[in-house]
Chain A
């Protein structure tokens, strides 16, 4: 069964600090992996989309990495801001193109 596991489930950091969120998946055959940011009660917003041939992709202070061999991805947030407080969701697409599998998300709280 295709699964996407995210860790940690929740994280509290101080403003200005860096953090790394993890995503492990068993989806096969793999097509692409997306990271989304979701503020409470709002729709997810795309941060990055990566294929198996991409190791790293950045979007401002957000940097995603992908290791297709170990089926692991990470999202690194640099110099966190209060507005980074949100849930971060990892989503993996099958190469067959007919299914998306979502991780349970990591809830990040950035404190002043």
Chain B
């Protein structure tokens, strides 16, 4: 158990809908990262927050947004869902802030999103 929690574990929804995925980092970690893992594209980095502020942005679609709250939990909002958005969404956390720094990232168990 990494100490990172994600809810829900599974989510099934229809095209065009909007969903929110939630992540609670390990105690003491200030950074939260979001990743998408699909069968055809593998793991992709979406976005990182550090202590409430956006720190780095990867391949995140405009239909997707995220935020980190004062209690450091984070939410990933996915809107106007398409079939291709079906994937495993992972959250990770670390103590420090930069992608180029050597902080260990601890991954949560993921949320499996199925768009029908």
Binding site for B on A (CB under 8 A): 31-32, 41-46, 49, 51, 89, 91, 93-100, 102-105
Contact = CB atoms under 8 A, between A and B. Distances in A.
Interface residues of B, number: 24
10 contacts: A43-B2, A43-B4, A43-B107, A89-B43, A96-B100, A97-B100, A98-B56, A98-B99, A102-B44, A105-B42
Interface of B: 2, 4, 42-45, 56-58, 88, 90, 92, 98-102, 104-110
B45 A43 contact: no
Given A31-B100, A43-B90, A49-B102, A99 B45 contact: yes
Contact of A97 (B2, B98, B106, B110): B98
Given A43-B107, A97-B56, A102 B100 contact: no
A102 B104 contact: no
B102 A32 contact: yes
Nearest to A104: B42
The 10 closest A-B pairs by CB, nearest first: A43-B107, A97-B100, A31-B100, A100-B45, A98-B56, A102-B43, A97-B98, A97-B99, A93-B99, A104-B42
Nearest to A105: B42
B99 A42 contact: no
A97 B43 contact: no
Contacts of B102: 32, 49, 51
A99 B88 CA distance: 20
